[in-house]
Chain A
Amino acid sequence: MRILVVEDSVALSRTISEAFRAKGHAVDAVSGGDDADAALRTQPYDVVILDLGLPDIDGTEVLRRLRARRSRVPVLVLTARGELQDRVAGLNLGADDYLAKPFALEELEARAAALMRRGVGGSEAVLAHGRLRLDTAARIATADGAPLELTRRELAVLEALLLRTGQVVSKQALFETLFDVDSEAGLNAVEIYVHRLRKKVEPAGLRIRTIRGLGYLLEAP
């Protein structure tokens, strides 16, 4: 995978770049908005890690120009705490994920990996979790290579949980992926599908937690 790191702090940029290189990715690092803009115009990237506070043109402007060119490359925005909600939350900037500074390197790696999995340019439309594989195009889930008997709706629930591994997925969000707006089904229907899915994927080592009053969480492998 090819990653662009846009960060004006030399120390932070080097640490991030080295971490991704160690995982076998190709990393380009730039320290300014103009350079980032130029790189994004000419090179294809699988994910962009973008700091908002840049010395020349602002990170939000880089992002705006990128999306104005109809590029769908996944962007992970890095920003100072507080600034996150101030400047980003209300604005639909077109970033795919946000991470507040200071952050743990592991978290950055996990979020970037999730974005790369989701990336439209990626060749593989396969979500992996421990021993489980979900081919999102063929709609097939396998555990250790053996197919799992999952219905269409169970696959949809599994996909939604896999895309947000380690985070809470609300019951409402699952409901919206499962049913049409005019469906007669109630929120309780979600519980039934999660219950069935849980029984089928537990042997493959997937642990789906019920979070009181909030939804469900697929534990990281």
Chain B
Amino acid sequence: MRAWRASLRSRLLAWVLVPILAVWAVDAVLTYDAVKRSINVAYDRTLSASALAISEHVTLGAGEPIVDLPPIALEMLDTGDQERVFYRVSYRTGAGADAFVTGYEDMPLAASTQRNGATFFEASYRGEPIRGAALQLDLPSEPPTTVLVEVAETLRAPSATTRRLVAEALGLEAALIALTAVLVWFGVARGLRPLLALSGEVSRRSPADLTPLGADVPREVRPLVAATNGFMQRVRDAIAAQRRFVADASHQLRTPLAVLRAEADAALRQEDPAALRAAVARLAGHSEATSHLASQLLALARAEPGPHGAATEPLDLTGIARDAAAALVPGALARSVDLGFEGEEPVTIRGDAVLVRELIGNLVDNAVRYGRAGGRVTVSAGRGDGGAPRLAVEDDGPGIPPPERERVLERFYRIPGTTGDGCGLGLAIVSEAARRHGATVHLLDGAEGHGLRVEVRFGANAPPSQA
């Protein structure tokens, strides 16, 4: 079975040959039957003619029938096939027993006879199958005498003829079947040639070549080519994302590292303890910003589609949001921000717990950083319209003007005039992490028209796409 599954050619051959051979077997039986029937008709005509010829020479002698057997009656049966011919004439008067007249006395009798026309019968005689014709004849006497004339013949010739004709017919069919098999065998090889060409094209490719495969393929292979091209497109996107990330990361890290180095050099040159202290304090501040940037870059790399693939385990969104918010409270309090949480009912999503935590952490961090000093930030988790899982983080700060809302999701974009040590990656991470979970990010006005409300709406029940 495994080999059949492995080879298209064997499968196709089996699919074609097995039904054809079954039909051929049925056809053999039917052909044999038909040939035998038509040959019997021809022989029967001769047998009945022979019986009739004999019966015409039956006359009524002194109380019993006499047969003057004409040679022609039996010669007509001689076909030169070494057939053996038997005959038997008997009669019955009234209700009396059968009386033998001439011929082979022990020849088997026909089971029944009829008054008009011959009756044909098959039997076995002297170890050979025979077929015979029986003719009933009423002679005018008182009481009436019924004469029975039987002629039989061995079946050597009709059997041989039947076999020959059936063999000829079936032989021709077998040749056709063999021809079909050969055609299928080579036809499949020929039909598969485009596939071989395709696999050659794929195997000759350089690893960097991710351009789509040619569309010049048979219609049946097009879905495979389309799926392969789709897959290569995703790989290409992932590689492009990785390249962009490396470019961004090296560009973004180089500047703060240069600053750190310059500050360290400057601090080393300071002789005055107070000035040295101030320089080291600046160094500490910048190193913190740099490590924040590095963390954010790594979070972004994790959120982006890549070869690692996102885990998709069932998660309680409410529980994760509550834990994340609780962990962020000390940081918020340090900025005098009242960070709270709303949501009771567990809401299940499928996704990557680390990414969801990053997403929440970045939203809260943004709200705390850019919201109102001493303001309120509320994280809420639950179900939105239509019962789809929804996460929201709302602050009562200055908000983001609608024209800027699209752009703030871009990486490294910072609203003009923004102060603070943010690196412009927070919402980009949120956006990527949401996309990974098949969720959408919406930037809305906060309650009472001021502040910012960021909603992450997850698909109702849809698993996150792998794209």
Residues of A within 8 A of B (CB): 81-82, 85-86, 89, 102, 104, 166-168, 170, 209, 211-215, 217, 219
In the assembled complex, the CB of A20 is this many whole angstroms from the nearest CB of chain B, namely: 19
Q: Which of B128-136, B194-202, B242-250, B334-342 contacts A (4 or more CB under 8 A)?
A: B334-342
Cβ of B295 under 8 Å from chain A: yes
- In the assembled complex, which residues on chain A have CB atoms less than 8 Å from the CB atom of B342? 212-213
Any A CB within 8 A of the CB of B329: yes
Contact yes or no, B329 A213, CB < 8 A = no
Residue in contact with B339 in the complex, picked from A86, A89, A211, CB distance below 8 Å: A211
A102 neighbours in B (Cβ, 8 Å): 288, 291, 294-295
Determine if B52 is an interface residue (Cβ-Cβ < 8 Å).
no
B380: shortest Cβ distance to chain A, in Å?
8
B354 close to chain A: CB less than 8 A: yes
- With A214-B326, A215-B326, A217-B330 already in contact, the answer to whether A81 and B295 are too (CB < 8 A) is yes
In the assembled complex, the Cα of A104 lies from the Cα of B378 at a distance in Å of 26
Task: Find residues 81-139 in chain B having any chain A CB closer than 8 Å to their own CB.
Answer: none
In the complex, chain B residues 372-393 whose Cβ is within 8 Å of any chain A Cβ: 378
| Chain B 280-299 residues near chain A, CB threshold 8 A | 288, 291, 294-295, 298-299
| Interface residue ranges, B against A (CB under 8 Å) | 288, 291, 294-295, 298-299, 302, 322, 325-327, 329-330, 333, 338-343, 353-354, 357, 378
Query: Whole-angstrom distance from the CB of B43 to the nearest CB of chain A?
Result: 91
Contact among B288, B298, B325, B326 with A81 in the assembled complex (CB-CB below 8 Å): B298
Q: Can you offer 8 A-B residue contacts whose CB atoms are under 8 A?
A: A82-B299, A209-B333, A212-B339, A212-B341, A212-B378, A213-B325, A213-B342, A214-B341
Point out the residues of chain A lying under 8 angstroms from B354, CB to CB: 82, 85-86
Q: Is the CB of A212 within 8 A of B340?
A: yes
Shortest Cβ gap from B92 to chain A (Å): 107
Contact between B302 and A211 (Cβ–Cβ < 8 Å)?
Answer: no
Check A211 against B326 for contact (C-beta < 8 Å): yes
How distant is B425 from chain A, measured CB to nearest CB, in Å? 14
List B contacts of A219 (CB < 8 A): 333
User: What is the minimal beta-carbon distance from A67 to any residue of chain B, in angstroms?
Assistant: 24
A contact residues around B330 at 8 Å (CB)? 166-168, 217
Complex Cα gap A168–B339 (Å): 11
A108 CB to nearest B CB, Å: 14
Q: Is the CB of B333 within 8 A of A217?
A: yes
Task: Give complex CA distance A167, B340 in Å.
Answer: 14
8 closest Cβ pairs, A-B complex: A212-B340, A213-B341, A102-B291, A168-B326, A85-B354, A168-B329, A214-B341, A214-B326
Per the bound structure, the CA–CA distance linking A219 and B340 in Å amounts to: 16
A82 CA / B301 CA spacing, docked (Å) = 11
CB distance from B316 to the nearest CB of A (A): 14
Given the complex of chains A and B, what is the CA–CA distance between A215 and B322 in angstroms? 10
* Contact, CB under 8 Å: A82 / B298: yes
Contacts of B329 in A (CB 8 A): 167-168, 211, 214, 217
Chain A proximity of B325: nearest CB distance (Å): 6
Query: Within the assembled complex, what's the spacing in Å between the Cα atoms of A211 and B325?
Result: 10
Measured CA separation A170–B341 after assembly (Å): 12
Given contacts A212-B339, A214-B341, 9 further A-B contacts (CB under 8 A): A81-B295, A104-B288, A168-B326, A168-B330, A211-B339, A211-B341, A213-B341, A214-B329, A214-B340
- A85→B353 contact, CB < 8 A: yes
> Considering the chains assembled together, what is the distance between the CA atoms of A87 and B353 in angstroms?
12
A7 to B341, CA, bound (A): 37
Q: Which residues of the partner chain B approach A85 to less than 8 Å between Cβ atoms?
A: 353-354, 357
A213–B333 alpha-carbon span in the complex (Å): 15
Instruction: Specify which chain B residues have a CB less than 8 angstroms from the CB of A214 in the assembled complex.
Output: 322, 325-326, 329, 340-341
- In the complex, the chain B residue whose C-beta lies closest to that of A102 is B291
With contact pairs A166-B330, A167-B330, A168-B326 given, residues A213 and B295 touching in the complex (Cβ less than 8 Å): no
State the Cβ distance, A98 to closest chain B Cβ, in Å.
Answer: 11
Residues in A whose Cβ lies below 8 Å from that of B288: 102, 104
Report the Cα distance A85→B325, complex, angstroms.
16
- Chain B residues, CB < 8 A from A167: 326, 329-330
| CA A89 to CA B327, docked complex, whole Å | 14
A209 vs B333: C-alpha distance when bound (angstroms): 10
Minimal beta-carbon separation of A129 from chain B (angstroms): 16
**Minimum CB distance partner of A103 in chain B:** B291
Give the residues in chain A near B302, CB-CB below 8 Å. Answer: 82
CA distance A167 to B299 in the complex (A): 24
A86 to B333, CA, bound (A): 28
How far apart are B391's CB and chain A's nearest CB, in angstroms? Answer: 14
Q: How far is the CA of A27 from the CA of B139 in the complex (A)?
A: 142
The CA of A214 and the CA of B326, in the complex, are separated in Å by: 6
B348 CB to closest chain A CB (Å) equals: 18
Of all chain B residues, the one with the shortest Cβ separation from A210 is B340
Q: A40 → chain B, closest Cβ, in Å?
A: 29
The distance in angstroms between the C-alpha atoms of A107 and B330, with both chains bound, is 12
**Residue from A167, A209, A212, A217 having most chain B Cβ neighbours under 10 A:** A212
Tell whether, in the assembled complex, residue A170 and residue B298 are in contact, meaning their CB atoms are under 8 Å apart. Answer: no
Q: Which residues of B contact A213 (CB under 8 A)?
A: 322, 325, 340-343, 378
Determine whether the beta carbon of A211 is less than 8 Å from that of B340: yes
Q: Which of A166, A213, A219 has the most CB of B within 10 A?
A: A213
Residue from A102, A170, A215 with most neighbouring chain B CB atoms (10 Å): A102
Min CB distance A88 to B, Å, is 11
Question: Could you say which residues of chain B place their CB within 8 Å of the CB of A170?
Answer: 322, 326
- Which residue of chain B is the closest to A166 with respect to CB atoms? B330
Give chain B residues whose Cβ lies under 8 Å from the Cβ of A212. Answer: 338-342, 378
Instruction: Give the chain A neighbours of B343 by CB distance below 8 A.
Output: 213
CB-CB nearest in chain B for A217:
B329
Tell me the nearest residue of chain B to A220, going by C-beta: B330
Task: Output the least CB separation between B132 and chain A (Å).
Answer: 95
- Tell me the smallest distance from the CB of A17 to a CB of chain B, in Å: 19
The chain A residue sitting closest to B326, CB to CB, is A168
Q: Chain B residues near A168 (CB, 8 Å)? A: 326-327, 329-330
Chain B residues whose CB sits within 8 angstroms of the CB of A86 once the complex forms: 354
Chain B residues, Cβ within 8 Å of A89? 353
A20 to B159, CA, bound (A): 113
In the complex, A82 Cα to B433 Cα: how many Å? 14
